[in-house]
Amino acid sequence: MLRPSTLLLVTGTVVAAPATGAPVQPTKVPSFPISSVLSPAMCLALVQKVLQIRREQISARRYPQRLTEENLQTLEEVERTASSSDVPSAVHTQALPREVCELLDAVTATSDQTPDLTFAVRGTQPSIIVHLFGYPLVRNQDGITAEFRKKRALELLTWLSLNRDRARRSAARTAMWEIAIHDSTFSTVVSDMRRGLSLLDSSMPSESLVPITYSDDIPLSANVISDAEILARTLHAFQQDENCVGDVINCLQWLRDVPFAGTSYSWADLDGSTTRLVILGVTAATEVARWAIRHQNADALISAVRAGLRVMPGNEELLELQRSALSSLGSKNCQLCSLTACSDAKHQR
C-alpha cells in the first residue's frame, strides 16, 4: 500500500487542488515563524507543490540535490503547519517568507549525475545492510533479519543510513517527529535500534555499531550501509566498465518495491530521498536492460525489467525496451510478453 505522498511521486496521482492561475514570482518578506505567516491550507499547497516537483524530477530522471539543514527545518515547519488542513489553497499571490523561497529554490535544484550516497564508507565490507527498496529491512550477510520492538527504531536507522553527514539527534528528531518529544523517548528508540543491530553482528559490541556519545552526534558504523549505497557504487563501476554488469544484476534482486513501501516516512518523500532512490533503481534497471539487449541476454533483460517495474510500476522507458526486444530474444519471448501484459494491467489499475 503506497502512502499518499509516494502515490503522487510514483504514479502521478494527485489530490485535486484549487486552480492557481498563472504563476507569480514570490515576494521575499522578513523572516517570521511559518505558522504566523502562512495558513495551514497554504502550507498544504506548498507540500503538494514539493511533491509535484519531485514527481517531475523522477519523470525527467534528474536527481534532486540534497537539502541543507536550514531547508529541512523550514520544510518540517511547513509540513507540521499543513497537518491541520485537508484542503489546499493557492499561494502564488501571497508574500512568502525568505526561508520558503530558499526552500523552493533548493527543491528544484537537480543533477543528472548518480548521487554520492556512500559518503565516507567507500571500500568498506559491510556486515549489515539496510534495505530501502520496499518496506525497510535490516539484514546481515547470513540473511538474518533484525527485529525491532519499536517501529521508530527501524525508521531512525533508515534515516541515519541516508544522512551520515548530518547524523545528529536534533536533525533526526526534526525529520521524524512532527511534535516535540522527550529526550527519554528518543533515547529509548536509540537503545532499541542498538539492540536490534547487535543481534546481527555478535563479533562487534553494540556500542561499535552505533557509538555512544554524550553530544548531539549519533554516528553509524561503516559496517552498516544501505542497499542504495551498494547499488550506487556498483552502477558507477558498471558505467566505467561493462564487465561489472554481474554486480549490478546481483543488486537488482534487492529492488523489491517502491522505496519505503508500507511506511509513513513523509520526510523521505519531501526531502528527495524517495526520488533519488527511485531514479537510482530505474537507472540501474534501464542500463542493465540496454546492455542485455545489446548482448542478446534474455535472462538479464527479464531480471532488469522486473526490478525496474517494481520500483516504478508502469515506467514507459522500461516497457518500451521490453517491447522492442520481443522480436529478437527468441525462446524467452513468452515470458517477456506475459511480463508486459502484467505490467500494463497493473499500471492501468
Cα separation, 118 vs 334, whole angstroms: 39
Domain ranges of the chain: 4-111, 128-225, 227-348
Q: What average pLDDT does the segment 227-233 reach? A: 94
Tens digits of per-residue pLDDT, 105-164? Answer: 999 999 887 766 644 445 567 889 999 999 999 999 999 999 999 999 999 999 999 999
Tens digits of per-residue pLDDT, 84-119? Answer: 888 777 765 456 888 999 999 999 999 887 766 644
Reading phi first (left if > 0) and then psi (alpha if -120 to 50, else beta), residue 29 is in beta
Q: Above pLDDT 90, what percent of the chain?
A: 64
pLDDT band with cut points at 50, 70 and 90 for residue 327: low
Find, among 196, 178, 310, the residue nearest to 318 by Cα: 310
Tens digits of per-residue pLDDT, 160-202? Answer: 999 999 999 999 999 999 888 999 999 999 999 999 999 998 7
Task: Let me know how many helices (H) and strands (E) the chain has, helices first.
Answer: 16, 7
What average pLDDT is seen over the chain? Answer: 85
Helix or strand (DSSP H, E) at 138 = strand 137-140
Domains 128-225 and 227-348 share a fold: no
30 burial type by CB count under 10 A (0-12 exposed, 13-18 middle, 19+ buried): exposed
Query: Degrees (nearest 5) of the Cα angle 130, 133, 138?
Result: 20
Cα separation, 313 vs 67, whole angstroms: 27
Cα separation, 343 vs 332, whole angstroms: 17
Amino acid at residue number 268: A
Cα separation, 66 vs 63, whole angstroms: 9
Q: What average pLDDT does the segment 304-325 reach? A: 91
The answer to whether 297 touches 331, Cβ cutoff 8 Å, is no
Amino acid 6: pLDDT: 65
Amino acid at residue number 196: G
Q: Could you give phi then psi for residue 214, rounded to 5 degrees?
A: -115, 35
Cα separation, 289 vs 329, whole angstroms: 12
- CATH code of 128-225, in short, is 1.10.10.10
Look at the domain 227-348 and name its fold: 1.25.40
Cα separation, 225 vs 84, whole angstroms: 36
Task: Look up cell 527511485; give the residue.
Answer: 278
Cα separation, 1 vs 219, whole angstroms: 32
166 Cβ contact list (under 8 Å, min separation 6): 69
Strands 224-226 and 128-131: parallel
pLDDT band with cut points at 50, 70 and 90 for residue 83: confident
Strands 63-64 and 110-111: antiparallel
